[in-house]
Structure 1
Amino acid sequence: MSKRDYYEVLGVARNAGDEELKKAYRRAAMKHHPDRNPGDKAAEAAFKECKEAYEVLSDGGKRRLYDQHGHAAFEHGMGGGNAGPGFHDVGDIFGDIFGNIFGGGGGRQAPRRGADVGYVMELDLEEAVAGIEKRIEIPTLAECAPCKGSGSADGKVDTCATCHGRGQVRMQRGPFAMQAACPHCGGSGKTIANPCQQCDGAGRVEEDKTLSVKIPAGVDNGDRIRLAGEGEAGPAGTPAGDLYVEVRVRPHAIFQRDGDDLHCEVPIRISQAALGDTVRVPTLGGEVELRIPAETQSGKVFRLRDRGVKSVRSRAPGDLYCKVAVETPVNLTAEQRTLLEQFEASFSGEDARRHSPKSATFLDGVKGFWDRMVS
């Protein structure tokens, strides 16, 4: 059974900070802790899974390796087996370094694999929110079909006579002995007497690969989807790399996204703001009614619960925040201008301050400022 993505296990985005990781781990560990779920094997397995995920993502070096190679970073000999998920202990590190320099360690070499491939997919907000399946075409190195990736026209691959299959040779430089890639086989440990004409013995050919990628509902900018084994084909007998599809969401004409919440601006007339009204506002699920109370000021924000984006992880919906913008009327008719002039004339002297709370506060602040300047 393949391992789940560590970010998915903790329910965080790939750009989550240390504090967010810590909080997510505490929540998950508390939920699945064996003491709270006695005898529950599924909870015990989930607890171990979130612990392993946090051990990797909370360590800067391990996290960089995981982001680059996924779970493969800790498999296929890329790390030791006794120091957590796929990492050497101190003794292993010094053994590898000095073993390679002075010829020790028996020339251990981690199996190679194909390179990972990155692809940026641009989506409209609606596509990111609802989820979509898209076909993409990527240039990559694929396994050569005629030789089935062996690089040999007749299928025969011999052990390199120079390095005896180790892929490395010992080189003497004065008093120093060093390990280096075998110049005869290029470090593969194998030689081919009859190379495949299609790939010239490389076992891989350049081609454009078409894939169908399922984008889950609720993804956001920077989210990455890993397709295991869909990267470049590895050298003969080694696994392929992975494909990482990074999501980029295009700017939207109406909504701005903040996590699982959406924000939009709702323009209303001055009469609607003063007298109150009910207006229709857009949401991702269609228009809904928003009640504007009387005496609403420009900049007032109204919250519509559960009208945002459903999280790609928890599936809990965010909210929609509507910010009111009171518009100044333009292109007035003569009658409208006369009515506005009469309206303005109705405000006189100190009585006008009762009807303009922000203006009154501003004027009081200006008066206090000048009084302090004079004194």
Structure 2
Amino acid sequence: MPPDQDLYDLLGVARDADADAIKKAYRRLARQLHPDVNPDPQTQERFKEVSRAYEILSDPQKRAAYDRGGDVFGGAGGFGAGFSFTDIMDAFFGGQGGPTGRGPRPRSHRGQDALIRMEVSLAEAAFGVTRELKVDTAVVCTTCRGEGTAPGTHPVPCETCRGSGEVAHVQRSFLGEIRTLRPCSACRGFGTLIPDPCRECSGDGRIRARRSITVKIPPGVDHGTRVQLAAEGEVGPGGGPPGDLYVEVYVEPHEVFSREGTTLHCAVTVPMTAAALGTTLTVPTLEADLESGAGSGLETSFELDLKAGTQSGSELTFRGRGVPGLRGGRGDLVVTVVVDTPTRLDPRQEELLRELAAIRDEEKPDGRLGSSRGSGSVFGRIRDAFNGH
């Protein structure tokens, strides 16, 4: 910290700020400058300076001494006597049980999470599926078992820091002696050196390998759902515990059914004669796509009774024939009826239709105009304009 640097300016608070304002200012700056967020050396040094300022201004006695221009850095109770900025960092960023003390940092760290994509059919997404997948991740080195050293060798204590992982830097100023601890540059803060690294992993303690895992997709997943497999991700440096593996589900489009949540939709096309007279149709279920569907007792189809006079666009809802929910229950199947009007007629068919039209007095229909508020038709917009909507 520069000798002329004002501690209040460092925290961005007024000289008459109360303890609560000082704490809030420090927390805000600590979150911005934390080494996990900004690992560059300049930011880390700035973080230390902010922490030093907070250590002094948060202590009423040290703050009073600083305001009087006294020595708050040296002496038996000063910062140079052993204050650790990591103590405050632990208090605000998840330290367990208060200050933990300084020491060498471990070579072993938790590995990163991994993400793979898995394509499934609509039926597999609905009813669940279990598959064997090949994944390429970091695993523990089989030669050194994660230690990073060549066979028969082990890490040795660093002679520069004597195994502490830190070295002291002392700077004198008009305020006194400022003593700081920094990670040892020789061992990079580990406290040990690896004189003979493992040739298989180059001292990292892990290698990349392709392996098989069993993935169980639960019933009811949808497109984009991520299934978490704990401890199946990347092994960490130094043979650290693995992260998690996330399997992102991609549901392939279906040729018959479309999905909306737990609701299935499909369309059935019938000739106009069947729509007018009524008929019975056989409609497949989603279970028909399962390999175990045939001969397993699953209902792979059902009978749909189409009433006489069914109009095109009519929707028929069948309860409990949709997609199972992740939390239980099952959605519905909505069948939309599409009436197929013939475009080509032979002479006899045309004669019969004209005869039917004459019998029904439909030879020259005027057409019927009706409300089309939902469709946004021209007639609907004209009517709404006149009605002031």
Pick closer, same or farther for the CA change 1:234–1:349 going to 2, 3 Å: closer
Pairing partner for 1:104 from 68, 85, 93: 85
Q: 1:281-322, CA deviations, whole angstroms, 9 ceiling, x for partnerless residues? A: 1212311111222222111111001001111222x1111000
Distance 2:247 2:305 in 1: 42
Local SS of the residue matching 1:271: helix
Local SS of the residue matching 1:151: coil
Q: How does 1:186-265 map to 2 (within 5 A)?
A: 186-236=188-238, 238-265=240-267
Q: How does 1:175-190 map to 2 (within 5 A)?
A: 182-190=184-192
Pairing partner for 1:307 from 305, 321, 339: 321
Distance 1:369 1:193 in 2: 86
In the TM superposition, residue 234 of structure 1 has moved relative to its aligned partner by: 0.8
CA contact (8 A) 2:109 2:238 kept: no
In the TM superposition, residue 183 of structure 1 has moved relative to its aligned partner by: 4.1
CA contact (8 A) 1:124 1:250 kept: yes
In the TM superposition, residue 362 of structure 1 has moved relative to its aligned partner by: 6.8
Task: Count residues in correspondence.
Answer: 278
Distance 2:214 2:231 in 1: 14
Distance 1:367 1:133 in 2: 52
Q: How does 1:52-131 map to 2 (within 5 A)?
A: 97=34, 100-101=48-49, 104-105=85-86, 112-131=109-128
Pick closer, same or farther for the CA change 1:271–1:185 going to 2, 3 Å: farther
**Letter aligned with residue 114 of structure 1:** G
Pairing partner for 1:135 from 132, 136, 146: 132
**Letter aligned with residue 241 of structure 1:** G
Residue of structure 1 in register with 2:19 after alignment: none
Q: 1:216-263, CA deviations, whole angstroms, 9 ceiling, x for partnerless residues? A: 222211211111111111122521111111111001001111111101
Local SS of the residue matching 1:201: coil
Distance 1:342 1:174 in 2: 112
Give TM-score, length-normalised by structure 1: 0.63
Pick closer, same or farther for the CA change 1:224–1:367 going to 2, 3 Å: closer
In the TM superposition, residue 331 of structure 1 has moved relative to its aligned partner by: 4.2
**Letter aligned with residue 158 of structure 1:** V
Local SS of the residue matching 1:361: coil
Pick closer, same or farther for the CA change 1:167–1:289 going to 2, 3 Å: farther
In the TM superposition, residue 352 of structure 1 has moved relative to its aligned partner by: 4.8
- Aligned pair 1:335/2:377, yes or no? no
Distance 1:313 1:282 in 2: 25
Pick closer, same or farther for the CA change 1:349–1:200 going to 2, 3 Å: closer
Q: 1:77-99, CA deviations, whole angstroms, 9 ceiling, x for partnerless residues? A: xxxxxxxxxxxx99777667476
**Letter aligned with residue 208 of structure 1:** R
Which structure 2 segments of 5+ residues have no match? 1-23, 35-45, 53-83, 87-100, 288-299, 373-377
Cα RMSD, aligned residues only? 3.8
Local SS of the residue matching 2:303: strand
Distance 2:125 2:132 in 1: 15
Residue of structure 2 in register with 1:157 after alignment: 155
Give the share of equivalent positions with the same residue, in percent: 37
**Letter aligned with residue 354 of structure 2:** E
Residue of structure 2 in register with 1:281 after alignment: 283
Give TM-score, length-normalised by structure 2: 0.61
Q: 1:179-209, CA deviations, whole angstroms, 9 ceiling, x for partnerless residues? A: 8765433454432112111111111112212
More helix by share: 1
Distance 1:114 1:202 in 2: 12
CA contact (8 A) 2:141 2:239 kept: no
Which structure 1 segments of 5+ residues have no match? 1-88
Pick closer, same or farther for the CA change 1:164–1:151 going to 2, 3 Å: same
Pairing partner for 1:361 from 353, 370, 378: 370
CA contact (8 A) 1:147 1:155 kept: no
Pick closer, same or farther for the CA change 1:227–1:362 going to 2, 3 Å: closer
Distance 1:367 1:158 in 2: 85
Pick closer, same or farther for the CA change 1:135–1:173 going to 2, 3 Å: farther
Distance 1:172 1:209 in 2: 52
Distance 2:232 2:380 in 1: 70
Pick closer, same or farther for the CA change 1:203–1:349 going to 2, 3 Å: closer
Question: Which structure's CA Rg is the greater one?
Answer: 2
Residue of structure 2 in register with 1:144 after alignment: 141
